[in-house]
Chain A
Amino acid sequence: MDMNAFDRAGPPPAHVYRPTANAARSNPMDMLGYARCRIYLLASGPGCEIDVAIQGAPNEDGPYLDEICGQAKRMGVTDSVSYILQDISRFLIVDASRIKGSWTVWVVPMLG
């Protein structure tokens, strides 16, 4: 279980995930104490493409459902991009598909 937003004054505890063919679904990411987060999809170079769905659950074991924010699903992403998810669940999972090239996904909780 992670530190939550009220336990510390420093930077937020980020999660980093590198989707691959045999690891297309991230481990659960604990967002305890945060209502928003910023997603960064970072492509390693040209020719990359990915579909990303953010799913959430109230407990770590799930079941995980698509997050309700309109940004929760991003299809056909071909370049680095970031966006904000509102009203997030306690636990998030990044579900990646159609992975071409190398991607790094950051999930960073946000205060305020």
Chain B
Amino acid sequence: MTVVKIENMALRYEGEWTVRPDEKASLGCRHESGDAADACAARWEGYCSTLQLYACAGPQYGIAEVWVDGKWERFVDLYDRKGSPGSVCVMTMDLAPGFHTVDIQKSGRKHPRSSASRINIDYILAAFVRPKPLAFRQIVCIGDSITFGANVADRPKQLFGRKLQQMLFAPVSVHGLSGAPIRTIASVLDAVAVPRNPDLILWLAGMNDQDPYVPMRQGIDTIRELMPETKLVVSNIPYNTYYTPEQNETKAFGVMQACRETGVPCADLFGCTQGNRSIHLPEGTVHPNADGHTLIASLFYSEIIRLLQS
């Protein structure tokens, strides 16, 4: 059994939610719903057998509803008179091994002593099970120094590629070229990716290109020419303070635009990590640490699951 942390940034949200910085939270932030009566929901989908929800309990929190596969499962009361010293496990749920959709919703109800009905989410611990039928035979990760793991102490174990290997139960071959722009990465695909005959390529792209839109379009074309049967999922760059906001937006949106125009699924890592500096510690530049790689793995996993379900 493989247990992996699904960070709150990797869930899909509906309604009014705020990313609340909290140094005691995983990767330095939690998602917190609004107080208004509006519906607020967070969703995660995947192949799993056990789920644990971690959140902050306190005097200002209300009651969450948990729905599994579209059916109401239970209430989770986040009220605590003193407040928890950090995130605590507020729910453990055993499920039949297989594909599940989990929705965590604000019920609008609260403990009589609670001051508000808002809810919050720090992370989910999921015990992953093998997708059935087995989704992929061979996966190749390509990219730059982020894919390589330049800020990851325990390589290759903590790389997002290796975490996806555990989550998807399929071998993942990782190829990160430090400092390489998209054109350079595309130029080695025939020697690095083609011989491995992957049925899925994961590409985190854009950090080393001033404007990645054109090279990304060309890179996608290259993959489709070389490996027409191979599926492709892309991610844009993480938030960082090394480049200016304008530079980062050009990099992030250039990749997303190229993907959108070519029908390639793209994880919005940039959008999910806006303002988050915890993912780059201790280096403090552009490279996510091991926890950041876990987040990247979760985002890729969600895109892959959506691809499989479509």
Contact = CB atoms under 8 A, between A and B. Distances in A.
Given A12-B195, A18-B178, A2 B283 contact: no
Nearest to A14: B191
Interface string A28-57: 101000000000000000000000000000
Nearest to A11: B195
B292 interface: no
Contacts of A78: none
B113 to A, nearest CB: 51
Nearest to A2: B173
Interface in B195-215: 195-197
Nearest to B149: A27
Contacts of A27: 148-149, 155-156, 159, 174, 176
A22 B192 contact: no
DSSP majority for the A interface?
Answer: loop
Contacts of B159: 27
B88 interface: no
Interface of A: 1-3, 8, 10-20, 22-23, 27-28, 30, 60, 102, 104, 106, 108
24 contacts: A1-B173, A2-B171, A2-B173, A3-B138, A3-B195, A8-B197, A11-B191, A11-B195, A12-B195, A14-B188, A14-B192, A14-B195, A15-B175, A15-B192, A18-B177, A18-B178, A18-B180, A20-B145, A20-B179, A22-B150, A27-B155, A30-B173, A102-B179, A104-B177
